[in-house]
Amino acid sequence: MEQKKRPLIYGATLILIGLIMGLGISSNLNWSSKATTEETKISQEATDILSKTGRAMAEVAAAVKPSVVNISSTKTIRVPAGHSPFFDDPFFNRFFGDEFGRLGQPREHKESGLGSGVIVDKDGYILTNNHVIKDADEIKVKLSDKREFKGRVIGTDPKTDLAVIKIDSNYLPVMKMGDSEKLKVGETVITIGNPFGLNQTVTSGIVSATGRADVGIADYEDFIQTDAAINPGNSGGALVNVRGELVGINTAIFSTSGGYMGIGFAIPSSMAKIVMDNLIKKGKVDRGWLGVSIQPITQDLAKQFGIKDDKGALVGDVVEDGPAEKAGIQRGDVIVEFDGKAVSDPSSLRNSVAGTSPSKKVTLKVMRNGNKQAMDVTIAEQPAEKQKVQGEFDNLLKGVRVQGLTPELKRQLNIPKRIGGVVVADIDEESPAAGLLTPNDVIIEVNRKRIANTKDYEAVVSGISSGQDILLLIYRSGSTIYLSLSARQ
């Protein structure tokens, strides 16, 4: 009898468990649905804040977009001739036709580029990057209202990668120039340009860093770093603050793929304004000159020179009869302040000096023997760069242009003090030395004759005949090597 009851008891128990579980599942489903509803609910306050932020960004973008233009440039590229002896062989020309022979002749083709620019004056002056319009045969400027104009170059400054062009139109929408010195890390900024030829593209982000130097883009660097998307075609476009003011000119990106990776650089408006004013008024940039060689302060050097931290620029050398020497600055001084502005590193001092008008008197503060001293110095005009030797010799060094190896060039190219000579500035594609010599090679000897400067180089090379072989001793990539130029090659 008890054996018959057990299945009934088990069955009832299972039914009861099922009911309990069913109720639990139903309860859980109801709770989950309720929780989901509560989690996705957005408060009116949050909606209002985001709506106001969105409207504000849209207003700023709408206000500044008309001042940003599309720049397209065209330049002629010369393709060097082939070097095969078969190109001039009548036998091959007979069978393959005259077109075969023409393959050995120099050819030209047109190359187009796209970039951006910012209207900075109602009379048609536009600020952009030098590399956007470099060597351009033709420049076309397209405004936001689809009008197109022919642009002409007013002036360029490769040392900052800035240029000013002009179009013949009046009463254009001008972007107000802001003060990049007031920018703070974390501040919201907007970029406007023409990435990949897509006109009037707006992106936003924050200021990631200021005062970026040693990036390797230009000689004078004080970049604003931003995570606002910058892509090819954005160069020369605007970096704008929330007040719709121009605080930077977009110039480059850090990328391993050629596209946006969250790091972009813009030339600050404080630097751009000085360059722009000089280019518009004079067609060139007058830079200040102090007459010192400087280097960074390491922790070890700070201890040696009695400095509490590694801020400042250590004077390694003083140019004879230069402004610094006349003011009493000595080798071993650490410049910590220039014209009321703290000097954080050599780059900041170079930028401050370069941006100072020649003949202006400023006060420097230096650390000497652990004591701070103030000195007045009158900034001079930066000496003109030594002219390149044009290389119009009738021998195997024809088409090779060199220039003097200055202390500044040595620093830039990381050349040891023991190395002297002349540095190769550029080489014609048709030069017999093309493919053997490369820019930035330092020529130490020519035919076993020591070269100390451009005068030595001209004297030695001018005496070499057209059919004479040449032996060069050069410095390249950390070592010295011999190169032989043979007239029989």
Q: Which two tokens stand for residue 467?
A: 């059919």
- Partners of 471 in beta bridges: 484
Instruction: With H, G, I as helix, E, B as strand and everything else as coil, classify residue 232.
Output: coil
Nearest to 318 by CA among 346, 338, 292: 292
- Partners of 450 in beta bridges: 445
How many other C-beta atoms lie within 10 A of the C-beta of residue 39? 7
- Distance between CA atoms of residues 191 and 185, nearest Å: 16
Q: Is 465 tagged catalytic?
A: no
In single-letter form, the type of residue at position 1 comes to M
The alpha helices in 250-403, defined as continuous H runs, are: 269-282, 299-304, 323-327, 346-354
Q: Per DSSP, which regions of 52-167 are E strands?
A: 68-79, 107-119, 125-129, 138-142, 148-157, 162-166
Q: Please enumerate, as own/partner, the contacts of 178-182 that have beta carbons within 8 Å and a separation of 24 or more.
A: 178/240, 178/241, 178/243, 178/245, 178/246, 178/247, 178/269, 179/245, 179/247, 179/269, 179/270, 180/210, 180/224, 180/247, 180/248, 180/268, 180/269, 180/270, 180/271, 181/268, 181/270
Q: Which entry of 67, 180, 235, 293 is annotated as an active-site residue?
A: 235
- Partners of 361 in beta bridges: 378
Q: Which entry of 131, 269, 352, 431 is annotated as an active-site residue?
A: 131
- Distance between CA atoms of residues 207 and 347, nearest Å: 20
Q: Per DSSP, which regions of 219-330 are E strands?
A: 223-226, 238-240, 246-253, 264-268, 288-289, 292-295, 313-318
Contact in structure between 275 and 160 (CB atoms under 8 Å):
yes
Nearest to 364 by CA among 398, 323, 397, 395: 323
Contact in structure between 381 and 357 (CB atoms under 8 Å):
no
Nearest to 226 by CA among 178, 257, 189, 196: 189
How many other C-beta atoms lie within 10 A of the C-beta of residue 360? 12
Q: Which entry of 161, 222, 333, 441 is annotated as an active-site residue?
A: 161
Q: Is 131 tagged catalytic?
A: yes
Burial class (CB in 10 A: 0-12, 13-18, 19+), 447: middle
Q: Is 161 tagged catalytic?
A: yes
Q: What is the DSSP letter of 383?
A: P
Nearest to 132 by CA among 35, 12, 233, 59: 233
Annotated active-site positions, please? 131, 161, 235
